[in-house]
Structure 1
Amino acid sequence: MARELKLVVHRSRDTLVADALGAASLAVLLIVGLWLPGLI
């Protein structure tokens, strides 16, 4: 099981980085979107 996970992570390293950046940007947009109405 651990060997399979390591193999999957190794094969899809580029897409994992892109997906992590996309998830982080969505989290930032969500936080800003929820925080912005409180300023107005």
Structure 2
Amino acid sequence: MIAQIKQTVENAHSTLLQDAIGAAALIVMLIAALYAPGFL
């Protein structure tokens, strides 16, 4: 099981940064949407 996880991470290494940036962007948009009603 550990070997499969390691192999999956190694195979997806090139997209991990892109996925992390996408997740961070989604979190920022969620926080902005939650604070938006207070600004209007």
TM-score (norm 1): 0.83
Give ranges in structure 1 of 5+ residues lacking alignment: none
Question: Aligned residue pairs: how many?
Answer: 40
Deviation above 6 Å: which 4+ runs of structure 1?
none
Q: How many angstroms apart in 2 are the aligned matches of 1:14 and 1:32? A: 29
Residue ranges of structure 2 left out of the alignment (5+ in a row): none
Give the alignment's Cα RMSD to 1 decimal.
0.9
